[in-house]
Amino acid sequence: ARFVRDLPKLELHAHLNGSIRRSTLLSLAASHGIDPSSAQILTRWPSTLSEAFSVFTVIHSCVTTLSDVERIAFEVGEDMASDGVVYAEIRSTPRAMEGGSLDDYVRAVLRGFGRYRLTSGVEGVVLRLILSIDRAKHTAADAQDIVDLATAHRLAGVVGIDLSGDPTKGEFLTFLPALQRARSLGLKITLHAGEVANTDTEMSAMLDFHPDRFGHCCFVSDDNLKRLTQSRVPIELCLTSNLLSNSVGSAEEHHFGLHHANGTVCCISTDDSGVFGSPLSNEFALVMDAFALDERQAFELAKRTLEAVFLPTSDPGTEATEEERRDWSVR
């Protein structure tokens, strides 16, 4: 346990609201008069993906103000640092809330990160933000707005765009124009893919798009699996999330084994540590145990994740807008 805690880890797939501290969720629920025992799902872990989505609905009904959002962002920094995470790309779906626009939401998250950074000691975690498009709730125009928001806040730490939300709803192709524009603006892109069965056509279209990372990929046909391996696109893998939501039968059967053996960059991640109750150190322990990795191999695994980070490799000024360039020169 000590080894996985001390291992310097990178977290590349964590949803902000899904990473809410349980104690914070319970106290926000109480302040909204939501009885956790009546909302049964708050007192046990979900056992299907659709149940996990019911938990997000409850979380969203508890997290209703910009200061709640800022608090969660701050606490995620604290929790990750205490778990030995050194770098994290946290993703979140901008939501309009009491007295706030989508832009205010993004600012609240970034304020939480900034406040965490100010109070953290030498062992702090570096935090970056990915903005999520919700495939079930957003329109093509909403997705374009999210790309605009990401572009506007790039210098403040937004590094990319994610496509997530209920995988049984919405169409990848609806969001393709926004994703293509995001790419042309220099934003990196990660796509939730193959979370449910019978999504081969969508997976083929996603492979044609060639994102910078994929998430999950639990249900992939043999043909697409071949293309996925050849594409060399890194995959974010969340074992506990897949096991609890019944997408994968056991840790030993998890597709990590296959991708790791194929040389694909596997980014071990938590998904929603507040919903599934497993911090990143525990995910590493699970992988080491199920696939008999020794400490050196676990180090190698954590280190290879670095190849998949969305931090810009070149001077961000080269792809910046005029306005950003002005900001930049002020620094």
Location of structure tokens 């950074």:
117
Residue tagged active-site, from 75, 89, 195, 283: 195
Q: Give dist(CA 180, CA 147) in Å, integer.
A: 10
Sole binder of ligand 5GP in the list 46, 77, 167, 234 (CB under 6 A): 167
> Which of these ranges, 12-20, 179-187, 285-293, 314-322, lies near ligand 5GP under the rule CB under 6 A?
12-20
Asked if 40 and 11 count as a contact pair (C-beta separation under 8 A), the reply is: no
Residue 17 interacts with ligand 5GP (CB under 6 A)? yes
Q: How far is the CB of 93 from ligand 5GP (least distance, A)?
A: 3
Closer of 11 and 298 to ligand 5GP (Cβ): 11
Of residues 228-257, which lie at the interface with ligand 5GP (CB under 6 A)? Answer: 241
User: Is residue 195 annotated as a catalytic residue, yes or no?
Assistant: yes
Count of residues near ligand 5GP by CB under 6 A: 17
Distance (Å, whole) CA 64 – CA 229: 41
Q: Applying CB under 6 A, does 192 fall inside the site for ligand 5GP?
A: yes
Closer to ligand 5GP by Cβ: residue 93 or 278: 93
Residue 217 region by backbone torsions, left for phi larger than 0, else alpha for psi between -120 and 50, else beta = left
3-class DSSP state of 89: strand
SS3 of residue 247 by DSSP: coil
- DSSP class of residue 160 equals E
Is residue 164 close enough to count as binding ligand 5GP by CB under 6 A? yes
Contact partners, residue 101, CB within 8 Å, separation at least 6: none
Q: Which amino acid is at 263?
A: G
Are 77 and 127 within 8 A, CB to CB? yes
Residue closer to ligand 5GP, measured from CB, 7 or 160: 160
Q: Is 132 in the site for ligand 5GP (CB under 6 A)?
A: yes
Q: Is 195 in the site for ligand 5GP (CB under 6 A)?
A: yes
Note the residues at the interface with ligand 5GP (CB under 6 A): 15-18, 56, 92-93, 132, 134, 164-165, 167, 192, 195, 241, 271-272
